Chains A and B, each alone.
Chain A
Amino acid sequence: MDVITRHLGEFGDGLLITVELTLLSLAGALVAGVIVAAMRVSPVAALRAAGTAYVETLQNIPLLVWLVLAVFGLPEIGVMAGLFTTAVIVISLYQGAYMAEAVRSGINAVPVGQGEAARALGLTFTQSLRMVILPQALRTVVQPLGNIAIMTIMNTALAAAVGVVELTAAANRVNLAEAQPIWIFVTAGLLYMALSACAGLTTGALERKLAILR
């Protein structure tokens, strides 16, 4: 057990990086998700096609492949960003595809009459989406978005493979010195569980606050 207490600093630093990575990626993913979902329901065929292509490409290639391609491939064509920045952008875009599908399901759950009423009032497509459809859509998908948030926390562990020293990489380094994998990885697992529990509780509270009874 003193293996853990001796390396609290390393675990703390790793946890902090995991939290930063998660929060920044989630923010990015939510923006990407809403934009892509709006594209997928837009009246312009080209935008719908682009949205579909985005979701299919991102979802059908594993995140690890994207991370490795971005970290080692992009510098070959002259695009070079820091490892943490690259990881945030890649995870944002990847989770954005899942966010887009969740948000789109929310849009489809808003009754047709709402859209028709918005149209009757003379709102444009963007206006009716922004002021009528999306506020209702997002409220219905709080729970799925929470699930994606938890998935994002877990997926940040893959950033360890491209040199970001987050919680998993930190646990690996501690284990390299101490050779006590069970204690060390159980600790890392408990920390991940605590993070997911936070995400779950926040989601629950948000849902109770925001849900619309229909």
Chain B
Amino acid sequence: MVRTLPGLRRPAPRRPALRGAALRHAGVAAAAALSLAGLAACSSDDSTSSAVPGAATGGDKEDLTASAPVATNIPAGSTMDKIKKRGRLIVGGSLDAPLLSQQNPATKKVEGLDADFGRLLAKYIIGKPEVKIVNSASETREALLSNGTVDVVFQTYSITPERAKQVAFAGPYYSSGLVIATKKGETGILKPEDLKGKTVIAGANTPAIPAIKKAAPDAKIVTFGSDPECVQALKQGRGQAYVQDEAVLLATAKQDPTIQIQGKPFTSDPYGIGLKHGDAQMKQFVNEWLKNIEASGLWAKVWKNSIGTVVQGEAPQPPAIGSAPGSE
């Protein structure tokens, strides 16, 4: 009984202050080590599925920017002129999108379709492929463009009439589609209508969410931040299907034999180059550049270097410029 009270109210500062501090530090260090270990375990788990597209093909790529065109007709005082004087094109983009815009952890170079187009546009305006990528997100893209933080956005930016009220779209420069993936051996999910009543996984802030809602209004949609997380969730059975961009899923399915792609793409997403709203001069300029690289075959080479590493066959026809509602 006598021992209970000291336990109840232990006077705190009896320990030498130094020992207390040392203990605290040890605790912090241990916890930091713990969390690092946890993160390391987590990421090493993912690395097989996420880092591969860049790593596997990174070394022997042809330098596309060497032969890329440079503009000769930049009007003084235009946005392009300002970018040229600055010596660097500021691009809003991702660093974690496989095949499109993903930073190679070994070389620090950002690789993929969107990243290459960004460098080519920089070369066209400035004369050298100087690009700074500002990591933007679908919550911030419109604001970053309108306040001038970034010059252009290359980030799987689907052209829609709603977005076209906020930003100007050059292009479309690429047309993609969503496909359905399931665990290997799953039957009965081939079309988007088959998703009715099912739990469907989608990337947060991807066009998959509205597309699923449209095709199967009563499907339950579960979203996760990144592609590896979505794949993990599919494998763990948090949903019966995963809807994602065809190119991304092809890369995933190639790496991971437990994932299977079902059916053909069921949407057509025209990706546009986001520009400041109302800058018609810049939009026309970027569209001219796009026409130029499509005609010279550079567009097909960019495709071959990124999406073409997982999709068989020749590069597709690029979509007609101005064809998507919102890009006129």
Q: Does A169 contact B (CB under 8 A)?
A: yes
Report the count of interface residues on A (CB-CB < 8 A).
50
Query: Which residues of chain A come closer than 8 Å to B138, judged between CB atoms?
Result: 172, 175-176
Q: Does B237 contact A (CB under 8 A)?
A: yes
* Complex alpha-carbon distance, A110 and B9, angstroms: 9
* Complex alpha-carbon distance, A115 and B237, angstroms: 53
* Complex alpha-carbon distance, A62 and B39, angstroms: 11
Q: B42 and A68: CB pair below 8 A?
A: yes
Q: Does A205 contact B (CB under 8 A)?
A: no
Query: Which residues of chain A come closer than 8 Å to B142, judged between CB atoms?
Result: 179-181
Which of A11-19, A124-132, A189-197 is found at the contact surface with chain B? A124-132
B209, chain A: closest CB distance, angstroms: 6
Q: B210 and A176: CB pair below 8 A?
A: yes
Q: Does B255 contact A (CB under 8 A)?
A: no
Q: A43 and B31: CB pair below 8 A?
A: no
* Complex alpha-carbon distance, A108 and B12, angstroms: 9
Query: Which residues of chain B come closer than 8 Å to A128, judged between CB atoms?
Result: 4, 8
B34, chain A: closest CB distance, angstroms: 7
- Chain A residues 80-129 with CB under 8 Å of chain B are 80, 83, 107-108, 110, 112, 115-116, 119, 122, 124-125, 128-129
CB-based nearest B residue for A163: B222
Query: Which residues of chain A come closer than 8 Å to B165, judged between CB atoms?
Result: 179
Asked whether A72 and B42 contact (CB < 8 A) given A65-B35, A129-B8, the answer is: yes
Q: B34 and A57: CB pair below 8 A?
A: yes
Query: Which residues of chain A come closer than 8 Å to B196, judged between CB atoms?
Result: none
Q: Secondary structure of the A side of the interface?
A: helix
Q: A177 and B210: CB pair below 8 A?
A: yes
A174, chain B: closest CB distance, angstroms: 11
Query: Which residues of chain A come closer than 8 Å to B27, judged between CB atoms?
Result: 56, 60
Q: Does B292 contact A (CB under 8 A)?
A: no
* Complex alpha-carbon distance, A163 and B200, angstroms: 11
CB-based nearest B residue for A126: B4
Asked whether A172 and B34 contact (CB < 8 A) given A80-B236, A163-B238, the answer is: no
Interface string of B17-36 (1 = CB under 8 A from A): 00000000001101110110
Q: A176 and B224: CB pair below 8 A?
A: no
B156, chain A: closest CB distance, angstroms: 12
Q: Does B1 contact A (CB under 8 A)?
A: yes
Q: Does A157 contact B (CB under 8 A)?
A: no
